[in-house]
Structure 1
Amino acid sequence: MSKVRTKDILKKFNLELISGEEGIDRSIMTSDISRPGIEMAGYFKYYPGERIQLLGKTELSFFNELGDSERTSRMEQLCTDITPAIIVTRDLEIPPELLEASERESVPVLRTGMKTTRFSSRLTNFLEAKLAPTTAVHGVLVDIYGVGVLITGKSGVGKSETALELVKRGHRLVADDCVEIRQNDQDTLVGTSPELIEHLLEIRGLGIINVMTLFGAGAVRSNKKISLVINLEIWDSKRQYDRLGLDEEKMKIIDAEIQKITVPVRPGRNLAVIIEVASMNFRLKRMGVNAAQQFTDRLTDAIEEGETEDGYE
């Protein structure tokens, strides 16, 4: 998980720093944002002080109708030692009680000219992207016909060579060797390449090649949602491999489960073509066309018809 500080959102959204500059290095630990309306009414029992507090026209209009002692008390309780920032929207005037409390507790008070709802949406999206759970996987990520395919397997099994052949066939490389994966949503994994090895492929016996330099900008992309995992393994004659495609294996990455296909590797098998067809078949399944299931249904119907013709009910 990346670390986000108050100064990062100050720079990202070009906010105006009003007071509490000493707390500009405070950490933001959650993407949730609070609009403390009920707190303005005096109820602080469940006040989420660890969140960024957003004050808009509604909150400040209510606040301005309070008495002097209530105004001071509300702002003192709003500014805690764990509050990363208080942001005022619409370029509204900052209450002096807030300025005093923020300076005392070193809580940064920021201001933006954007409307509250729009700014809240943009800030939430930014924080969710930055604070999303992340991991790294040894493998190759390729965009094949719009399907993000993560190719895994033991070192030396031929992942990078297969990716090179896929690039030659017009598909796009995202990452080789190390794939950084971020979970944007409950079932959404996005893979990227570490900056140091971006656009690079390592081919044993050939060395490091730059895919973008050799094949052009259309042969690479910076990130891609992972939809399918294809695991390459050396052919094991003792293992029973799926021949129909009815069994769906899953691979868990962070908290999401992705469909996984195991492809045995041995001389004479064109892995690039196999993976290409697997990607097209995956797209067909998402569109409701399942060739394996259709074959099974036809086979079942043929068996039942044969039994009926033989006089069995």
Structure 2
Amino acid sequence: MAKVRAKDILDEFHLELISGEEGIHRPITTSDISRPGLEMAGYFNYYPAERVQLLGMTELSFFQRLDDDARRIRMEKLCADVTPAIIISRNLDVPPELIEASERYAVPVMRSKMKTTRLSSRLTNFLESRLAPTTAVHGVLVDVYGVGVLITGQSGVGKSETALELVKRGHRLVADDCVEIRQEDMDTLVGSSPELIEHLLEIRGLGIINVMTLFGAGAVRSFKRISLNIHLETWDAAKDYDRLGLEEDKLKIIDTEITKITLPVRPGRNLAVIIEVAAMNFRLKRMGVNAAKEFTEKLASVISEHENLPEDGNFGGY
């Protein structure tokens, strides 16, 4: 099923439908936008017909210089079978040759009042967001001090209870149980909640609660960039856990890796406070402050100085 169709951009940007209404449900498969300047000059050897075609002042002013036969041929070639839509910017007049060709080949022609560059930028951002690779992860997403923290772990380990405590401490819930993630860029993951369970939190023994109703609109948000993964697991006495923070694991989601911290769960551990500190420490590391690295360097310096001391204890007369 197509993620985006021509009708979606018609509604999103409040465009005016000029012609080609039969093709209004054509799928859009790429976020790239084409400005067919060379095509207006007759060069169709590498025409990217699968893209949305954007015609501005430059393309149309050149088009007006052509003779009648050339205009008709160019517009017929522009309206390919796979062309999802043709958009005219600046509220410019639509050439009758384009209207005729679009009706014949069912290619929707739309018009916008926006300037060409602005429309191209907004349209590209919209398509990249809607066409981005997506996946779903079982977990909880919380905004902690501006850091998108994805809490994962086995069912029943305490993810939702920890999220509830974080919300009570002033942080914001994004999604519980199922986190829909889209990769908007090579290193950007954005998480959101499925519409059916948005703002809801499931607590075993208590049931489903509406976080926005209980704690207010400031306790939730619709989406958040994911930067840190906190993985909760039941305490294993036979397992060695990182005690310095020098080791940095990674979690790969789609094509992007994020920092992963494994927290063992046992009675008496305040997970909400630990996650708060983990988020603050993550921000410090991004600013170049690494407490574990500084401690290790100081320890190495002390050991080095101790090894260089004279064995007889003679400090040069002092």
Q: TM-score, normalized by length of structure 1? A: 0.97
Residue of structure 1 equivalent to 2:118: 118
Residue of structure 2 equivalent to 1:177: 177
Q: Distance in 1 between matches of 2:23 and 2:199?
A: 39
Q: Structure 1, residues 123-157: CA drift from partner, whole Å, max 9, x if none?
A: 11111111111111000111111111000000000
Q: What is the aligned-residue RMSD (CA, Å)?
A: 1.4
Within the alignment, does 1:76 sit opposite 2:39 as a pair? no
Residue of structure 2 equivalent to 1:95: 95
Residue of structure 1 equivalent to 2:316: none
Aligned-residue offset at 1:121: 1.0
Cα distance 1:310–1:266, how it changes in 2: closer, same or farther (>3 A)? Answer: farther
Q: Distance in 1 between matches of 2:132 and 2:227?
A: 18
Residue of structure 2 equivalent to 1:55: 55
Residue of structure 1 equivalent to 2:188: 188
Q: How does 1:97-176 map to 2 (within 5 A)?
A: 97-176=97-176
Q: Report SS of the residue matched to 2:42.
A: coil
Residue of structure 1 equivalent to 2:315: none
Aligned-residue offset at 1:310: 3.5
Cα distance 1:2–1:219, how it changes in 2: closer, same or farther (>3 A)? Answer: farther
Q: Structure 1, residues 200-237: CA drift from partner, whole Å, max 9, x if none?
A: 11111111111112212211111111110000001112
Of 273-282 and 147-156, deviating more is 273-282
Q: Distance in 1 between matches of 2:4 and 2:206?
A: 40
Q: Which amino acid aligns with 1:228?
A: L
Q: Report SS of the residue matched to 2:160.
A: helix
> Matched residues, percent identical?
77
Q: Which amino acid aligns with 1:216?
A: G
Contact 2:28 2:51 in 1 (8 A): yes
Q: TM-score, normalized by length of structure 2? A: 0.95
Residue of structure 1 equivalent to 2:219: 219
5+ residue gaps, structure 2, are: 312-318
Q: Report SS of the residue matched to 2:283.
A: helix
Q: Distance in 2 between matches of 1:310 and 1:39?
A: 82
Q: Which amino acid aligns with 1:60?
A: L
Q: Report SS of the residue matched to 1:125.
A: helix
Q: Which amino acid aligns with 1:238?
A: A
Q: Report SS of the residue matched to 1:87.
A: strand
Residue of structure 2 equivalent to 1:247: 247
Aligned-residue offset at 1:51: 0.5
Residue of structure 1 equivalent to 2:314: none
Residue of structure 1 equivalent to 2:298: 298
Contact 1:2 1:131 in 2 (8 A): no
Q: Report SS of the residue matched to 2:264.
A: strand
Q: Report SS of the residue matched to 1:240.
A: coil
Q: Distance in 1 between matches of 2:106 and 2:205?
A: 58
Contact 1:2 1:130 in 2 (8 A): no
Contact 2:211 2:220 in 1 (8 A): yes
Q: Distance in 1 between matches of 2:289 and 2:50?
A: 48
Contact 2:139 2:176 in 1 (8 A): yes
Q: Report SS of the residue matched to 1:273.
A: helix
Contact 1:141 1:191 in 2 (8 A): yes
Q: Distance in 1 between matches of 2:97 and 2:146?
A: 54
Q: Distance in 1 between matches of 2:199 and 2:90?
A: 43
The number of equivalent residue pairs is 312
Q: Distance in 1 between matches of 2:238 and 2:215?
A: 40
Cα distance 1:261–1:223, how it changes in 2: closer, same or farther (>3 A)? Answer: same
Which consecutive segments of 4 or more residues in structure 1 shift more than 2 A? none
Q: Which amino acid aligns with 2:162?
A: T
Q: Distance in 1 between matches of 2:54 and 2:110?
A: 10
5+ residue gaps, structure 1, are: none
Q: Which amino acid aligns with 2:243?
A: R
Contact 1:180 1:191 in 2 (8 A): yes
Cα distance 1:57–1:126, how it changes in 2: closer, same or farther (>3 A)? Answer: same
Q: Which amino acid aligns with 2:32?
A: D
Aligned-residue offset at 1:2: 6.4
Aligned-residue offset at 1:238: 1.8
Contact 2:2 2:28 in 1 (8 A): no
Q: Distance in 2 between matches of 1:218 and 1:16?
A: 37
